[in-house]
Chains A and B, each alone.
Chain A
Amino acid sequence: MDATQPPPRSVLEAPDIARVLTRIAHEIVERAKGADDVVLLGIPTRGVHLAHRLAAKLHDVTGGPVPVGSLDITMYRDDLRLRPARALARTEIPAEGVDGRLVVLVDDVLFSGRTIRAALDALGDIGRPRAVQLAVLVDRGHRRLPIRADYVGKNLPTSLRETVRVQLAEEDGRDGVLLGRDEPAGEG
């Protein structure tokens, strides 16, 4: 980032993220009337870490184990041909499978909705869930597809010139959500 630009502004700190995940865990249990058949699938990279945190929170609420996995969407992206071939991330489906279960997709930022579109396609090749829901830490708006989140950590109205950067301890050494300016917006 350029030195002339204003420093990124922090919109969520570590305690906020923890609180938000606790609330989402309760919402999932409330909507699913328990969380017996819930499977959490994180979208790499940060969605996977969030899914594991969310699973721990769900375990605290329900006492039962919650299967967690990851779902790589690289091969299903609609913009693959626009950039050099990307490295693949891990897809790890829990042993319980997804058939007939309530799959909650977990991602860090919801933006255009294209990532989630790709995730739904990827999920369709893996099995047939009873239902699919979406949990995101930040919804920054600017959807380009008819997709919405079921559980939102924070609604963050942004302009397209702003960047939203989620930092998680597992990946970045610290927790936080930063709002920066004047960089070309990335794909969310």
Chain B
Amino acid sequence: MKHHLISAADLTRDDAVMVLDTAQELARLADRPIKKLPTLRGRTVVNLFFEDSTRTRISFEAAAKRLSADVINFSAKGSSVSKGESLKDTALTLEAMGADAVVIRHHDSGAPHRLATSGWIGGSVVNAGDGTHEHPTQALLDAFTLRHRLAGGGDGVGRDLTGRHITIVGDILHSRVARSNVLLLTTLGAEVTVVAPPTLIPIGSEGWPCAVSYDLDAVLPSTDAVMMLRVQRERMTAAYFPTEREYARRYGLNGERMAAMPEHAVVLHPGPMNRGMEITAEVADSPRCTAVEQVTNGVSVRMAVLYLLLGGAPASPAPPTAAAPAAAPTNTAPTATAPGAAGEAEENQ
């Protein structure tokens, strides 16, 4: 796996399966009396949130804490950002504090990429949603939920989503969740169809590895899972459809449409849901809707991502200035390969 997770395209099929398998094992932690592992003890994870979020921030915070990392939450409101501080100065501040990983959500597409490639910080950068670009950990938790639900006996460990038909419905234009999912699900072997009114299909989607349809009813009977997206009013600067009622009638998922899906098919929603708009209460509350399960799985998947990025030896050479104080005491004593030197110094307990 790379040093950063900016885009779902950063993950190969094997990387993605590794994340899902790791998450599968970590999910079992929830049944234990002590839901904590010592793996990231002494490492610092900064949640850098320039945009409102509840479930993603809480999910990352819970994930980091269950791995014993120290968590610093930073939200733009009530920080120096509201006084006009730039992303660069904020990043340099975090670097000076010794952040080993920065989880960033930003209203501008590309902010995590800038943070990761600018050399401002040496730690890993995890994209927790940037503008209308990508949200890779959401795609990973969706893939995890899909694999688990569609595995058909067993927990799906080691497997991908080959041959599965996944339909993504709604505001594709403004959806970072859709972009990341199209990339990740096709990497995992699934066939993806996006369904939306023509006005909500982005220009350039012809180049995406997926099919495009304007007719939800035509697609549903052959789909293994349908992912309903929220209509993102806050990002809409023009009228994309005549009325909400018309949108709900043509692209909303109701009980009737759900009945047209195959027996085993499930309904995903990344949340927050607009009941009555893209999804009716009947569907949202049915056992086929995985929205709550997705939140639970989110913690396991984010634990897996943090573990795979931070748990092992640094994958890529960090910038020379990145010798964070926190990283210094971790000694490099060899294991049994060099008998004399292998040391008592290693364990601090």
Q: Is B26 an interface residue (CB 8 A)?
A: yes
Query: Which residues of chain B from 255 to 276 have any CB-CB distance to chain A below 8 Å in the complex?
Result: none
Residue-by-residue, is A111-148 near B (CB-CB < 8 Å gives 1, otherwise 0)? 11010010001000111000000000000001010000
Q: Which of A22-30, A57-65, A86-94, A169-177 sits within the interface?
A: A86-94
- Whether A112 touches B336, Cβ cut-off 8 Å, given contacts A87-B21, A125-B34, is yes
Q: Which of A2-10, A12-20, A34-42, A71-79 sits within the interface?
A: A71-79
What number of A-B contacts does a CB cutoff of 8 Å give? 78
B34 touches A187 (CB 8 A): no
Q: Is B25 an interface residue (CB 8 A)?
A: yes
Query: Of the candidates B18, B26, B334, B346, which one forms a contact with A78 in the assembled complex, judged by CB atoms under 8 Å apart?
Result: B346
Query: Of the candidates B25, B36, B346, which one forms a contact with A89 in the assembled complex, judged by CB atoms under 8 Å apart?
Result: B25
Please name all residues of chain A whose beta carbon is closer than 8 Å to the beta carbon of B34 when the two chains form the complex.
125-126
B346 touches A160 (CB 8 A): no
B332 touches A82 (CB 8 A): yes
Q: Is A11 an interface residue (CB 8 A)?
A: no
Please name all residues of chain A whose beta carbon is closer than 8 Å to the beta carbon of B308 when the two chains form the complex.
85
A75 touches B22 (CB 8 A): no
Please name all residues of chain B whose beta carbon is closer than 8 Å to the beta carbon of A127 when the two chains form the complex.
33
Complex CA gap A125/B28 in Å reads 13
A79 touches B18 (CB 8 A): no
Complex CA gap A184/B342 in Å reads 13
A126 touches B33 (CB 8 A): yes
Please name all residues of chain B whose beta carbon is closer than 8 Å to the beta carbon of A126 when the two chains form the complex.
32-34
- Whether A72 touches B336, Cβ cut-off 8 Å, given contacts A80-B311, A125-B32, is no
Query: Of the candidates A76, A88, A89, A144, which one forms a contact with B26 in the assembled complex, judged by CB atoms under 8 Å apart?
Result: A88
Q: Which residue of B lies closest to A160 (CB)?
A: B339
Shortest distance in angstroms between A158's beta carbon and chain B's nearest beta carbon? 11
- Whether A144 touches B33, Cβ cut-off 8 Å, given contacts A84-B313, A88-B22, is no
Shortest distance in angstroms between B79's beta carbon and chain A's nearest beta carbon? 31
Q: Is B330 an interface residue (CB 8 A)?
A: yes
- Whether A84 touches B315, Cβ cut-off 8 Å, given contacts A111-B336, A125-B32, A144-B342, is yes
Query: Of the candidates A75, A87, A112, which one forms a contact with B37 in the assembled complex, judged by CB atoms under 8 Å apart?
Result: A75
Complex CA gap A87/B158 in Å reads 11
Q: Is B162 an interface residue (CB 8 A)?
A: no
Q: Which of B330, B335, B344 has the most CB of A within 10 A?
A: B335
Q: Is B50 an interface residue (CB 8 A)?
A: no
Shortest distance in angstroms between A51's beta carbon and chain B's nearest beta carbon? 18
Complex CA gap A111/B337 in Å reads 12
Query: Of the candidates B36, B313, B335, B337, which one forms a contact with A125 in the assembled complex, judged by CB atoms under 8 Å apart?
Result: B36
Q: Which of B332, B336, B344 has the most CB of A within 10 A?
A: B336
Please name all residues of chain A whose beta carbon is closer than 8 Å to the beta carbon of B330 when the two chains form the complex.
81
Complex CA gap A166/B335 in Å reads 20
Complex CA gap A13/B291 in Å reads 54
Complex CA gap A83/B336 in Å reads 14
Shortest distance in angstroms between B172's beta carbon and chain A's nearest beta carbon? 33
- Whether A75 touches B38, Cβ cut-off 8 Å, given contacts A84-B313, A85-B308, is yes
Q: Which residue of B lies closest to A90 (CB)?
A: B25
Complex A-B, nearest 10 residue pairs according to Cβ-Cβ distance, in ascending order: A85-B312, A88-B25, A84-B312, A75-B37, A85-B311, A75-B39, A125-B34, A85-B308, A184-B337, A160-B339
12 A–B contacts from the bound complex (CB under 8 Å): A72-B25, A75-B311, A78-B346, A79-B335, A82-B334, A85-B1, A85-B311, A87-B22, A88-B21, A114-B335, A185-B337, A187-B336
